[in-house]
Amino acid sequence: MKEISQILSYTLPVLYLAVLFIYYLIFSGKNKTLENKTTLFLFLLLSFHSLEIVLRHVSLHTIPLSSAHDAWSFLAYSILFVYMIIEMSLNNRGSGLFILTLAFFFELISSFYTNWEPETNELLRNPTFAIHASMAITGYTALSLSAVYALMYLLQNRNIKEHRLGNLYTQLPPLMYLESMSIRSVIIGIILLGIGVLLGHLQAQKLIGDFWPNDLKVIITDVIWILYVAGYIISKIQHWNGKKMAWLSVSGFMILIIGGGLIIYFSNSFHRFF
């Protein structure tokens, strides 16, 4: 089983590149007939990557985030997962080339950090903790993609105002779709991160007897989630749309980045594994 997992791990970057090439053909207009097949390709790639994660977990008794290889690879997996939901729900593939390029590079980076030693940290062998960490990372990924779509919206909006209607304008999704993609990503992020946060608190109560541990990473994660929820509710009450929503998403991402920086430089959190 370990050998199969190794083969899958080394094959994944090639498969990501192959799917990325399909989106390049669509984006460049060289093969528009592939548009109706992208969901199938995404599903197959996601299934292949899921199999790799499962086999690696079974053979090494670990979770998808316990090493640099696993973390980078799972980040690519999260991007792929969130993007597939957005593409299927909105039936628009205009952003696929940009989003899947990120996923490909993360998967490529992971291949330079391969490690096949069995996991010895008991916490990282805990299924509940694995779900908590996976949900949190996927939620963060969705919130980050929301900012990417918001930046695309601002770029497309500027192109329209300045009458720069070149190839980039024609290939990017319309403003309506970009706004919907950004909002959809925020909703997915809030839900998944919320589940991850709740499971994290329940796990903390079980392991250390404290539902609200005095841990900087926990505190910052809770604050980020609350701010995103509050921002989304306020935007609905105030009927914000267009540029306001785009800037709100970008601002939320900056808060996320700042929070991540504080965790890295000032936290001695028990969440640090590698």
For residue range 142-196, list pLDDT tens digits in order: 998 999 899 888 888 887 777 666 555 566 677 888 888 899 999 999 999 999 9
Judged by average pLDDT, the poorest of 57-61, 100-104, 153-157 is 57-61
**Region 218-229 average pLDDT:** 89
Q: Is the same domain home to 11 and 110?
A: yes
Q: Is the same domain home to 31 and 87?
A: yes
pLDDT at 261 over 80: no
Q: Is the same domain home to 149 and 267?
A: yes
DSSP per-residue codes, 211-256: SS---HHHHHHHHHHHHHHHHHHHHHHHT--THHHHHHHHHHHHHH
Q: What percent of the chain has pLDDT over 90?
A: 24
Q: Is the same domain home to 61 and 146?
A: no
Q: Is the same domain home to 71 and 143?
A: no
Q: Is the same domain home to 119 and 133?
A: no
Go through the chain and tell me how many residues it has: 274
Domain count, the chain: 2
pLDDT of residue 124: 65
- What the block records as the tokens of 176 is 């309506």
Q: Is the same domain home to 172 and 274?
A: yes
Q: Which of 102, 95, 47 is nearest to 79 (CA)?
A: 102
- For residue 272, the tally of other CB atoms under 10 A from its CB is 10
Q: Is the same domain home to 69 and 170?
A: no
Residue finishing a domain among 65, 99, 124: 124
Averaged confidence pLDDT in the chain: 82
Judged by average pLDDT, the poorest of 29-38, 74-83, 224-233 is 29-38
pLDDT at 262 over 70: no
**Region 235-248 average pLDDT:** 85
Q: Is the same domain home to 138 and 262?
A: yes
Q: Is the same domain home to 267 and 191?
A: yes
Q: Is the same domain home to 106 and 218?
A: no
In this prediction, residue 120 has a pLDDT band, given cuts at 50, 70 and 90, of low
C-alpha to C-alpha distance for 269 and 158, rounded to whole angstroms: 42
In this prediction, residue 41 has a pLDDT band, given cuts at 50, 70 and 90, of very high
C-alpha to C-alpha distance for 2 and 246, rounded to whole angstroms: 45
Q: Structural domain of residue 159, as residue ranges?
A: 126-274
Residue finishing a domain among 124, 150, 171: 124
pLDDT at 139 over 70: yes
End-to-end CA distance of the chain: 25
C-alpha to C-alpha distance for 38 and 50, rounded to whole angstroms: 18
pLDDT of residue 110: 86
| DSSP-H helix ranges across 111-242 | 127-161, 167-171, 175-208, 216-238
C-alpha to C-alpha distance for 72 and 65, rounded to whole angstroms: 8
Q: Is the same domain home to 100 and 210?
A: no
pLDDT of residue 209: 77
pLDDT at 268 over 80: no
- What the block records as the tokens of 151 is 């930046």
Residue finishing a domain among 94, 124, 154: 124
**Region 109-115 average pLDDT:** 81
**Region 100-126 average pLDDT:** 79
